[in-house]
Chain A
């Protein structure tokens, strides 16, 4: 991970102090809300997702899709990314990571083109998926 990636940049800013983070978090909701939500008064982040697709998966996607990519079901659900035929084409997962889907937040501000390409290529070739045709950072940039 180089210091140029958004996550690293965010982390560097947040090293200043949590108030900076609170301001960052406020920015997510403040324009549309007259009040910062309670949780906006917390810091945003410090540590950095690692450089590889596997690291980004573990540090971001696994929170919802689970470490084994099997998804989960409660009152709502997270879809399994394991053995998922919808990952056949690379643009579908790439588009969802950039733009989000329902409750899944868009990751475009948090991950750079390289990280998104890496994680998409990672899920498409792991967890029982074995799809050809990796996506490039340039193609990710075009989706933004």
Chain B
């Protein structure tokens, strides 16, 4: 199907036409779904809906944790006929797939409780927030569960690059830096070609093509120079843009010189947007990541017992017993099933008594959890749109906040707007996590005001999540090293008697929901084979 025969040049066209027809009649969502059978859309190991044929032989499965990994297992296993029950610590499903809106409260470890004050319609995703095209498994479940997706602006050419040590701390538009970097590099390369410096590497014929491509890529003039011109202004921005009437004539801008561009270090940010996960198109659920939780809740919510803190897991020859505590009544309870799929983050699981073989026990203790802090800030108006023409996307900075992400929804609304005012990793996350929620917000406002002075006037309120203070993950996600992968990864994923692990941590797509999904599908497939084998 995917092989396009040489003698049928029209085939690819036809396929595209078919897709665009579907796109026209049924919207972009239907188009993505239609692409799946043509086997083009998936770049993770997800190859299409799982098929668990042959019946469940009357077996039961206890799933621990109602994040995406746990709920995928519950959905597919219950469909295949298994008797499924899920135990979840939180009073809600979704785990890290979570959205905070006005009126929501969050109590972190240490006891600080924040109540979100955002206006109606505003929200922040404290954990996952974007869905790459590559993540076919997640997109599949969104479509199946009726979770509407919309574009997430990743790379906005009009957003800023900011460094306290370049341009006197003045933010630069992304498009300006990219145009000047590409322009100067092409000019240099063109010089090298014309001075025959690349004769060893390219033939004379290819050198011709290379020069033409450099002119196109770098917006060079007819002399192969990157200079002030209409061509360069069309990329980097005009000094005065084109318009209509008597004031219509555009004025090109002056490119930065190459030394300034190189020394600014801002070229580093170009690479960030080039990785598979950050290439457009990227999506977000309409209304926030919590909509993914809501979608699964509609499908498997009846199988889930909330407010249930797992305290011990023990397996024997005939099944698995799980002790848990009702967090509201403190009642001690237990549940039993033929098998147990555990999606509890390893940071927490490492602390729960569990009888498994030594290699799995060692693997569970081998994965430290990464720090991260996200801070949502609400402002009286969307000054980034109104004053600076930034609609969604990300400003990058060397300040501790690391980035400012503008909302990819509600463009042009006149009411209060919420942006992501900090998304940190590394050492700074520990420092911020160690402070009170109010201090974190205050510092994010102080730092952000260096890029957007409007912060001072327009700030209303904020909310922060330091992931090491999240009571049910003790961190952002599992960090594998090359060594720990080699020693422990396979042991973590092997089924141990009647107990098995799934989740983000049991994948090569760590820190992404797609990892949770593909890990869950992988383990239930192996479990089902074992049940079939009897």
A residues touching B (Cβ–Cβ < 8 Å)?
Answer: 7, 10-11, 14-25, 28-29, 31-47, 49, 58-64, 66-67, 72-78, 100, 102-106, 110
Contact = CB atoms under 8 A, between A and B. Distances in A.
Nearest to A77: B351
B508 interface: yes
Interface of B: 89, 109-111, 128-130, 161, 163-166, 264-269, 271-272, 275-278, 309-310, 344-348, 350-351, 365, 367-372, 396-400, 402-403, 423-431, 433-434, 466, 468-472, 474-477, 479-482, 484-485, 508-512
* In the A-B complex, the 5 residue pairs with the closest CB atoms: A74-B471, A37-B511, A19-B268, A44-B426, A103-B347
* Interface-central residue, B109, B275, B485, by most chain A CB under 10 Å: B109
A139 B248 CA distance: 73
A19 B471 CA distance: 31
Given A18-B403, A35-B510, A46-B400, 6 more contacts: A16-B265, A21-B425, A25-B426, A28-B481, A32-B484, A38-B129
Contacts of B265: 16-17, 19-20
A72 B347 contact: no
B347 A76 contact: yes
B277 A43 contact: no
Contact of B399 (A31, A46, A59): A46
Contact of B268 (A15, A17, A31, A32): A17
A32 to B, nearest CB: 4
A7 B398 contact: no
14 contacts: A16-B398, A17-B264, A18-B269, A18-B398, A19-B271, A29-B511, A33-B480, A35-B276, A35-B277, A43-B424, A59-B427, A63-B430, A72-B110, A102-B347
A101 to B, nearest CB: 8
A110 B431 CA distance: 13
A9 to B, nearest CB: 11
Contacts of A32: 480-482, 484-485
A78 B347 CA distance: 10
A130 B372 CA distance: 33
A49 B431 contact: yes
A23 B270 CA distance: 12
A60 B430 contact: yes
A33 B427 contact: no
Contacts of B403: 18, 42-43
Given A46-B398, A47-B400, A102-B350, A21 B426 contact: yes
A67 B163 CA distance: 32
A63 B399 CA distance: 20
Given A43-B402, A60-B430, A66 B425 contact: no
A37 B485 CA distance: 15
A50 B241 CA distance: 49
